[in-house]
Amino acid sequence: MTHAPVHGGDLRLAMAEAQALGSDPGTVDDWLDLSTGINPEGYPLDPPDPTGWQRLPDPVAHGELLSAATQYYFSPNEEAIIAAPGTAALIAALPHLFQRRTVSIVSPTYGDHARSWRRAGYAVTPVNTLKDASPASITVLTNPNNPDGVTVNSYTLEKFLTRMGRRDGFLIVDEAFGDVSKMGSAVDFVSEHNVLVLKSFGKFFGLAGVRLGFAIGKPQLVTALSEQLGSWSVSTPAIEAGIKALNDQGWQATTRARLERDSGRLNRILDAAGLLRVGWTHLFTLIDCETAQDLYDILIRNRIYVRRFDYRPTWLRLGLPGTDAGFNRLELALAEWRKL
């Protein structure tokens, strides 16, 4: 039997865990969801035009979306970028573009990458760092990494790409959490190297339910990827949301500053509780705790949901609470845990 992958955000699962611990699970609205690493204060959208649910996506509006994304992500041009119904769809489609060979995945990382390549029949080799990847393979790098926030700088990327180019390798870089990173982007290298960059709209803009993502690479490759997705892969409401948010530079600047402040506040709270931080981005922090299960249970009893990892039971990843009330709830739960 094949089990569905476990991601964050499943509050029904969290409620069932609370009930199993003998606690009142309340309702979904009672929970503080820190399990996803999504910006908790998403871009403010007006309700979509009702006619957008009735008509097929407009090619002109789709072009406006690609134009906005080209500027926002610094794509070389509009021929080098495509839109998709979330990066999950891109990750699932990618294995169908290549001939079979070994896939090196810098690990541990977002689990859907390995699942997608294995499901398509590829041999997947986890590697610890980009330096350990075979330059002749297809290499997958999440940058900044999820869940530990490790970032590979542009110098290291270019060095690997140069070595890889001599062996006809290919690099896929997932920059889902890269909107607030100050380390540069692999987009800088798509014109000269065999590299494809995945961009998530939902994380930074806090609109995961819109289901919108982008791939940036050489035109021939992104065109083939677009054909894998099929016609009208991005809905009219998603196009409208993307155009508005990607063009709003004022909101983007204000949000980057707020996320930097809030991530610092979260890290100070975790430090004060005596927890060991082993990685972070401006959207989440990863801790390593020998009594992680006890801490997780207390958080669940307080209706606070965080991310666990079956391959590393001592790890917990916490997203941003978003409000003063949320930060206070987390502090109180951590104080309860410290009394154990």
pLDDT of residue 7 exceeding 90: no
Tell me the mean pLDDT in the region 289-310.
Answer: 97
Q: Scanning the structure block, which residue is given the tokens 């996320």?
A: 259
Q: What pLDDT does 179 receive?
A: 96
8 Å CB contact between 306 and 299: yes
Nearest Cα to 188, choosing from 229, 153, 137?
A: 153
Secondary structure (3-state) at 327: helix
Question: Does residue 130 contact residue 139 with C-beta atoms inside 8 Å?
Answer: yes
Distances from the Cα of 287 to the Cαs of 12, 62, 112, 150, 209, in angstroms? 24, 41, 22, 13, 27
Sorted by sequence, the CB contacts under 8 Å of residue 281 that are 6+ apart come out as 37, 144, 149, 177, 180, 181, 263
By the 8 A CB rule, do 301 and 307 touch? no
Identify the CA nearest to 332 among candidates 272, 250, 243, 284: 272
Average pLDDT over residues 91-107: 94
Is pLDDT of 165 > 90? Answer: no
Query: What pLDDT sits at residue 3?
Result: 42
Q: Which residues contact 197 (CB under 8 A, 6 or more apart)?
A: 73, 172, 173, 175, 185, 186, 187, 190, 215, 216, 217
pLDDT at 6: 63
- Residue recorded with tokens 């309702």: 27
* pTM of the entire predicted model: 0.95
Q: Mind listing the pLDDT tens digit for each residue in 182-191?
A: 788 999 999 9
State the pLDDT confidence band at 168, using cuts at 50, 70 and 90: confident
CB-based burial of residue 138 (10 Å sphere; 0-12 exposed, 13-18 middle, 19+ buried)? buried
pLDDT band of 5, cuts 50, 70, 90: low
Mean pLDDT taken over the chain = 95
Backbone angles phi, psi at 129, to 5 degrees: -140, 165
Tokens coding 195: 């590299």
pLDDT for position 15: 97
pLDDT, one tens digit per residue, over 203-259 is 999 999 999 999 999 999 999 999 999 999 999 999 999 999 999 999 999 999 999
Radius of gyration of the chain (CA): 20
